[in-house]
Amino acid sequence: MRSEVSQVRFGLAVLAGASWLYLVYMAWGMADMEEPAAQLLMPAMMHWGAMDLVLVFAMWAIMMVAMMLPSATPMVRTFVRSAQGQPGHSVASLTSAFVGGYLAIWTLFSAVITLSQWGLLELRLVTPMMESASASLSGSLLVAAGVFQFTEFKNACLNKCRTPMGFLMTEWRPGTCGAFIMGLRHGAYCTGCCAMLMLLLFVLGVMNLGWIIVLTLVVLAEKLLPAESVWPTRALGAGLIAWGGYKLLIGQG
């Protein structure tokens, strides 16, 4: 049993590590567009075709694995402990189903955000370098993300992510199908509390590795805080609103 748990942990570490290596490669590619090796996974600058959409979707999906899997680790660890001893099912198969469901929700989010980026690119609101070309767009996204930090919806979704045992006790379903459904539900709560922060990548630069790391740490910190801790989330919200207001003011000046 212990070796099986170790295999699960190793598999998750490899998946997260490979995703981060991909992000490093993409960030290098954005900085060195003239290099032939950098152009292999890069979409066209404008007027995307089907292959460009596939490349951008893959970029977002892998980015979500890299950014969100670390913050899901406490939940996955608790699930592994709870799954031990289920008759007829290995811990590895149950955990794979749970993580698969979790990542399926973020993959769906990646599809939606890919189409959104395509539309913003065609409207010239996002540059070919994958960052906002509009002070109004930047300011609006920052303010919206800041206001969202104060909402009961954000707090409710975040509390589900902060209390792994409480989530599993209320959501537990047997078997691999049940594990997948639990992963879907956890992914939905996670998307509910973090999606607005992910939209800030359009402001900060979709492939700006420094800001990707900062957002990953912010999401991780929010989930590791006790359920009753609301002031860090609200302090972040106030900061985002102030930053967005400044962007909007500058944009109109």
Q: What is the pLDDT of residues 107-128, one digit of tens each?
A: 999 999 999 988 888 888 988 7
Determine the average pLDDT of the residues in 128-141.
87
User: Do residues 140 and 196 touch, judged by C-beta distance below 8 A?
Assistant: no
Beta bridge partners of 92: none
Q: Higher confidence at residue 87 or residue 161?
A: 161
Can you tell me the mean pLDDT for 228-252?
88
Band the pLDDT of 1: cuts 50, 70, 90: low
- Judge whether 240 and 142 are in contact, CB under 8 Å: yes
| Mean pLDDT to the nearest integer, 91-111 | 94
Model pLDDT for residues 171-223, shown as the tens digit of each residue:
998 889 999 999 999 999 999 999 999 999 999 888 888 999 999 999 999 99
pLDDT at 133: 86
Helix, strand or coil for residue 126?
strand
**Confidence check: pLDDT of 141 > 90:** yes
Mean pLDDT of 122-147: 89
The pLDDT, as a whole number, for residue 149 is 95
Per-residue pLDDT tens digits for 83-95:
887 777 788 889 9
Least confident of 3-7, 94-98, 171-175: 3-7
Q: Tell me the pTM.
A: 0.89
**pLDDT value at residue 8:** 75
Residue 89 is predicted with a pLDDT of 78
The pLDDT value recorded for residue 253 is 40
Structure tokens at 112: 């939606």
Whether 84 contacts 91, CB under 8 Å: yes
Q: Is 128 exposed, middle or buried (0-12, 13-18, 19+ CB in 10 A)?
A: middle
**Ramachandran angles phi, psi of 134, nearest 5°:** -130, 125
- Per-residue pLDDT band for 37 (boundaries 50, 70, 90) equals very low
Q: Mean of the per-residue pLDDT values for the chain?
A: 87
